[in-house]
């Protein structure tokens, strides 16, 4: 801090730090406002009467405030189990995904690995070509993992694009000097991987954790196809709640009536379930975010 405050102002031209700071803050606040307002709107809408929402009466405050949407969501007996299943799948799945990403990224980041290009292409092909739902289903059936937790992440394979990003991070953001020093010291690849690369790559590691976490947390389709009702994760439970109260203006439902009422409930639930589903992620995020901010290189080079 002391060094910075004694800097010579404007020696290389450009705006002063002070002005720049103000500009940055102003821009940040604008962005904050622009992004936050619609989020606020969803929050307000989740507490309002949906027909007032559609009439445009809820731009700032809830109208005919009601907790019915949330009540309907939490009245669902499967919610707690859904949360539990989601946490399980997310934790296990993330561990698996990140492990796979690292296992692929490191070898591919090593110069002169024979066959590196072939292996890269081998994985990249799977980004573009795929057999589709039914053949995958048949293989899942054949390998006997139906309705087990394995089905939630094995069929997804390796997240290749993430692996490539990680590979590039290893190549560019971890100084070659460190790697060379290590191999001159006689460290094996295993050693380098586990003791050096992983600890030094915390920023990208935390990013991969976040990406995986969110992907697994939001996935309802995989569970729909491969799992039983008891094994349903949260998004699937929420989806079922939504479907339960959604009456399409279909012919069959018209005869029985009550379309307007049912529709109202659906809309309320729609907004409420966003909050319910996203809240855990939004709460968990700041914890993982800490890892971005550590100046990790400081320790390594000077040591």
Partner 1 sequence: MKAAVAAPRPVQRKSLGKRMRDNWQLYVLLLVPVVITIIYKYGPMYGIQIAFRNYNPGLGINGSPWVGWKWFERFFRAPNFDRMLWNTIKLSVFGLLWGFPVPILMSLMLNQLRFKRLKRTVQTVIYAPHFISTMVICGMLRIFLSPSGGLINLIAGTQIDFLTEASAFRTIYIASGIWQEAGWGTIIYLATLSSIDPALYEAASIDGASVFQRILHIDIPCLLPMIILQLIMSASGIMNVGFEKAYLLQTDLNKATSDIIAIYVYEQGIVSARYELGTAVGLFNTAINIVLLLIVNRVAKKYGEVNFV
Partner 2 sequence: MKKLVSILLALMMLLSLAPFATAEGQTEFLVLSGISALSGGYDNNEVLNAMQEQAGVKITWDTWSDSLNEVVGTRISGNAASQTPIDAFQAVGFSNFDLMRYGAAGTFIDLTPYITPEIMPNLSAILGAHPEIKAAITMSDGKIYGLPAGEQMGTAGIGREKDYSIFSIPQFAMINKVWLDDLGLAMPTTLDELHDVLAAFKENDMSAKIYGNDAGSTIPMSTGFDEWCWGQNVFYAGFGFTNWINDVCMDLTVNQDGVVNFVSDDDNYRAAVTYFHNWYAEGLMDLEMFSQDTNQLIAKCTGGRVGVTTWWEINEIMGPHAEDYVYLPILNGPDGTSNVTLRTGGAINAGQLSVTAQCKDPAKLLSFYDLWYIGENVMQLQYGPIGVFFTEKNEKGQWKSITDEEAREKFNKSSGELKSASEVAGPKLILSQYYNDVWEMEARAQERLADTYDYWFTFVKDFSFYPQDCVFTEAELDDIDFYRADFESAVKEQEALWIKNGGPTDEEWEAYKATLERCGMSTLLDIYQTVYDRYVAAK
Closest contact distance (angstroms) between CB of 258 and partner 2 is 5
Helices 17-46 and 259-293: angle between axes, nearest 10 degrees? 150
Smallest gap from residue 260 Cβ to partner 2 (A): 5
Would you count residue 183 as binding partner 1 (CB under 8 A)? no
* 180 three-class SS: helix
CA distance 60 to 135: 50
Check: CB of residue 212 under 8 Å from CB of residue 159. Answer: yes
Q: Which of 44, 47, 53, 170 binds partner 1 (CB under 8 A)?
A: 53
- Check residue 182 and give left, alpha or beta (phi > 0: left; psi -120 to 50: alpha): alpha
Residues 240-299 binding partner 1 (CB under 8 A) are 267, 270-271, 274, 277-278, 281-282, 285-286, 289, 292-298
231 binds partner 2 (CB under 8 A): no
Size of the site for partner 1 (CB under 8 A): 109
Of 262 and 288, nearer to partner 2 (C-beta) is 262
Least distance CB 62 / partner 1 (angstroms): 15
| Number of residues forming the site for partner 2 (CB under 8 A) | 32
In angstroms, the CA 194 to CA 118 distance is: 25
Q: How far apart are CA 96 and CA 263, in angstroms?
A: 40
CB contact at 8 A, 73 and 273 = yes
Binder of residue 251, out of partner 2, partner 1, none (CB less than 5 to 8 A by kind): partner 2
Rg of the chain on CA atoms, in Å: 25
Task: Please select the residue that binds partner 1; options are 178, 214, 215, 224, rule is CB under 8 A.
Answer: 214
Per rule CB under 8 A, is residue 230 in the interface with partner 2?
no
User: Min. distance of Cβ 256 from partner 1 in angstroms?
Assistant: 25
Q: Which does 26 bind (CB under 5 to 8 A by kind): partner 2, partner 1, none?
A: none
Assess 138 for contact with partner 2 (CB under 8 A). yes
Number of helices (H) and strands (E) in the chain: give both, helices first: 17, 0
Q: Does 225 bind partner 2 (CB under 8 A)?
A: yes
SS3 state of residue 209: helix
Identify which of 273, 254, 271, 274 has the alpha carbon closest to the alpha carbon of residue 262: 254
35-37-39 Cα angle (round to 5): 80
List the one residue from 44, 164, 268, 269 that touches partner 1 (CB under 8 A): 164
Binding site for partner 2 (CB under 8 A): 50-52, 54-55, 133-134, 137-138, 141-142, 221, 224-225, 239-240, 243-246, 249, 251-252, 254-260, 263, 267
């Amino acid at each position: 801090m002391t060094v910075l405050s004694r800097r010579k102002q404007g020696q290389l031209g450009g705006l002063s730090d002070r002005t720049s700071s103000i500009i940055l803050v102003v821009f940040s606040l604008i962005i904050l406002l622009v992004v936050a307002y619609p989020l606020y709107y969803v929050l307000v809408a989740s507490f309002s009467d949906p027909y007032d929402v559609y009439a445009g009466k809820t731009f700032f405050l809830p109208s005919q405030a009601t907790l019915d949407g949330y009540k309907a969501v939490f009245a669902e007996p499967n919610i707690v189990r859904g949360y539990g299943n989601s946490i399980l799948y997310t934790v296990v799945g993330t561990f698996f995904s990140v492990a796979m990403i690292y296992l692929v990224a490191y070898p591919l980041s090593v110069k002169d690995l024979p066959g590196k290009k072939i292996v890269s292409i081998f994985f990249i092909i799977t980004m573009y070509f795929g057999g589709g739902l039914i053949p995958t289903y048949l293989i899942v059936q054949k390998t006997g993992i139906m309705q087990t937790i394995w089905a939630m992440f094995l069929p997804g394979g390796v997240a290749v694009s993430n692996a490539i990003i990680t590979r590039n991070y290893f190549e560019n953001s971890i100084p070659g000097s460190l790697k060379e020093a290590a191999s001159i010291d006689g460290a094996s690849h295993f050693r380098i991987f586990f003791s050096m690369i992983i600890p030094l790559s915390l920023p990208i590691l935390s990013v991969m954790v976040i990406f995986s976490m969110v992907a697994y947390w939001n996935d309802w389709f995989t569970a729909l196809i491969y799992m039983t009702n008891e094994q349903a994760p949260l998004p699937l439970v929420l989806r079922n709640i939504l479907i339960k109260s959604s009456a399409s203006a279909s012919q069959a439902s018209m005869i029985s009536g009550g379309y307007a009422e049912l529709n109202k409930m659906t809309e309320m639930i729609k907004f409420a379930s966003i909050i319910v589903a996203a809240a855990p992620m939004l709460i968990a995020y700041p914890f993982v975010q800490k890892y971005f901010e550590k100046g990790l290189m400081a320790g390594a080079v000077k040591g």
